[in-house]
Structure 1
Amino acid sequence: MGEVVNVVVAFAVIVFIFRWATSSSPANNNNPSPADTLGFRPKNVTQDMVDTIGNMFPDIPRDNIRYELLRTGSVERTTNKILEKGFLDAPPPSYFTLYPRAVLNPTAGAPGPANNATSSSVKPETLISRFNLQSRIKGDAPTVIPEEEVGGKARWEDTPEKREESLRERKAKMILAARQRMLAAQKEKEAA
Structure 2
Amino acid sequence: MAAQDILPTIILIGILYALYKWLTGPKTPSDPFRGVTRPMVESVTSAFPDVSIESVVFSLSRTRNPQTTSEIILDRGTLPAAPADFVVPDHLRPVAVRSATPASSSSTAATAQAAAVKQQSLIDRYNLSSRLAGDSAKASASPEPPTSGGGSGVSSGVATPSSIASGKWEATREDREKDLRARKERMILEARRKILEKEAKEAAAAADKAKAE
TM range (shorter): 0.3 to 0.5
Indicate the structure whose relative CO is greater, using CA pairs within 8 Å and at least 6 residues apart: 2
Q: Under a length normalisation based on structure 1, what TM-score does the superposition of the two structures give?
A: 0.46
